[in-house]
Amino acid sequence: MAEELITTRHTAEQPARILVGDDDAGLREMLRQLIEEDERYTVIECGSGPETLECLTADEDKRPDLALLDIRMPELDGIQILQRMLEQGIDVPVILMTNYGSATVAIRAMQMGAADYLTRPFQDLDEVLITIEKVLRYEQLKRGLEHRSTGKAEPIDRIVGSDPAMVQIFKTIGRVARTPATVLVTGDTGTGKELMAEAIHNASDRRSGPLIKVNCAALPESLLESELFGHEKGSFTGALTQHKGRFEAAHKGTIFLDEVGEMTPGTQKKLLRVLQEREFERVGSTSPIQVDVRVVAATNKNLRDEVLARRFREDLFFRLNVIAIHMPPLRERRGDIPALVNHFLDKHRYSPSSPQARISEDAMEKLTIHDWPGNVRELENIIQRAVVLSRGGFITIDHVVFQNELNRYVLDVQQKVRDNTPLEEMVRDVRREAILTALRLSDHDHERAARQLGLSVEDFERECQELGISVDGAA
């Protein structure tokens, strides 16, 4: 898929324009020669900060495709230029050139949205060309994806997926959306079941009617029944007025029964009747109500297993499972991850007017190899958090924090509490771990270790003694 998205814009006929911003004419000339040796590129030279900014803020068709900027220029330096670009929403990728020893500046540059940076003096001239190539390819991929995700604001367009299994699902939805057939969407948590239900409704001829969602797991049996089918005044304690149920509300539209596997036998029986006869009674009433409702149900349980275990009615299962859509887990469609990341970067901007945050290659790789137990929802949460951590700028590998990394410690404590571990013991474990770590980090220098833990040397040594840690750090 990636290949298909890489356009052929940077060909010899139409070379990519690379802006070289540097106040040193000799270095500019050197870079021009180096870059233009590759016929796919042509260089625009800018000798000062203001000149560079003018070039970057030109009309869109005159802007360069990429800018290579010296971080230190008089009047307006590379960081200030990035700042202006951010303010004005100028989306030209920038590679900053810094001098050795200015790592903090480089980090700041990346946070400000630079696409990459190079340190000078260049160790290897190929590195310059490789970095340019890499940034341009990423940019084109990104633009290609943006192009695909804009356009009609149909909910189906908001669904990302080009994995063959997903394409198959989209085809199924396209085929069945306009029929009245009941659909059962299955799949693990966070795989997009609710999104599919919305897509089915929106692609159907009922789209002008309501889409009513009911979470069957959220309500106890008595309330669920009255929620679904309504009740008459006085039909049970607390039923002070007549209440129309969700099935009535969904007339001429779609009802989405989420977590349908959680229904109790009583509700299952009533639901079966609606599906068979398209009619039901309100709780406490004997007059049947007829409705024209399309049913889409979802569950993360394996309903066949539930049927075998006699927790779910087999006849209801067959009524629901007319059209079956199974959402594959994210780890089985890793090829979709970059496009999903891009989609969520677009969806979750730092502020409504912020440009889309960028993401480093190694951060993207970390996302691609993760196992995703929480599927697409987990990915969405992680991107949301990374955008906040990077303040909407450039997401690096450190901004990508998985749930298990973040909470391992908390989970550990929770487990210990469940196992009835006394508080005293847990605290002792933490103290021991802290002391041993401080000793390791200080190379067994008690003074440094004590300082690190905010203790006096005496207190530190007393702690060691109490915990049975010998001077050389052995427990």
Ligand X SMILES: Nc1ncnc2c1ncn2[C@@H]1O[C@H](COP(=O)(O)OP(=O)(O)OP(=O)(O)O)[C@@H](O)[C@H]1O
Q: Which residues bind Mg ion (CB under 5 A)?
A: 194
Least distance in Å: CB of 382 to ligand X? 12
Residues lying near ligand X in the complex (CB under 6 A) are found at: 158-161, 187, 189-195, 300, 340, 343, 376-377, 380
Among residues 35 and 327, whose Cβ is nearest to ligand X? 327
* Residue 38, H or E segment: none
Least distance in Å: CB of 324 to ligand X? 15
Alpha helices by DSSP H, listed for 348-470, are: 361-369, 375-389, 403-418, 423-441, 446-452, 457-467
Among residues 158 and 269, whose Cβ is nearest to ligand X? 158
Q: What's 140-203 look like in SS3?
A: HHHHHHHHHHCCCCCHHHHCCCCCHHHHHHHHHHHHHCCCCCCEEEEECCCCCHHHHHHHHHHH
Which single residue brings its beta carbon nearest to Mg ion? 194
Which single residue brings its beta carbon nearest to ligand X? 192
Least distance in Å: CB of 327 to ligand X? 6
User: How many other CB atoms are found less than 10 A from the CB of residue 387?
Assistant: 23
Least distance in Å: CB of 336 to ligand X? 7
Least distance in Å: CB of 408 to Mg ion? 26
Least distance in Å: CB of 346 to ligand X? 11
In this structure, which amino acid lies at residue 421? T
Among residues 195 and 307, whose Cβ is nearest to ligand X? 195
Distance of CA 285 to CAs 145, 229, 236, 288, Å? 54, 10, 11, 8
**Of ligand X, Mg ion, none, which one does residue 366 interact with (CB within 5 to 8 Å by kind)?**
none
Among residues 146 and 194, whose Cβ is nearest to Mg ion? 194
Q: Do residues 293 and 254 touch, judged by C-beta distance below 8 A?
A: yes
Least distance in Å: CB of 375 to Mg ion? 11
**Of ligand X, Mg ion, none, which one does residue 191 interact with (CB within 5 to 8 Å by kind)?**
ligand X
Q: Provide the pairing of β-strand 16-21 with 66-70.
A: parallel
Q: Do residues 144 and 171 touch, judged by C-beta distance below 8 A?
A: no
Among residues 291 and 376, whose Cβ is nearest to ligand X? 376
**Of ligand X, Mg ion, none, which one does residue 376 interact with (CB within 5 to 8 Å by kind)?**
ligand X
DSSP at 59: -
Among residues 194 and 429, whose Cβ is nearest to Mg ion? 194
Distance of CA 421 to CAs 410, 416, 429, 433, 469, Å? 14, 5, 11, 17, 22
**Of ligand X, Mg ion, none, which one does residue 380 interact with (CB within 5 to 8 Å by kind)?**
ligand X
Among residues 157 and 458, whose Cβ is nearest to ligand X? 157
Distance CA 2, CA 174 (A): 25
Terminal alpha carbon distance of the chain? 55
Among residues 204 and 299, whose Cβ is nearest to Mg ion? 299
Distance of CA 179 to CAs 79, 88, 104, 323, Å? 57, 48, 60, 11
Least distance in Å: CB of 298 to Mg ion? 6
**Of Mg ion, ligand X, none, which one does residue 192 interact with (CB within 5 to 8 Å by kind)?**
ligand X
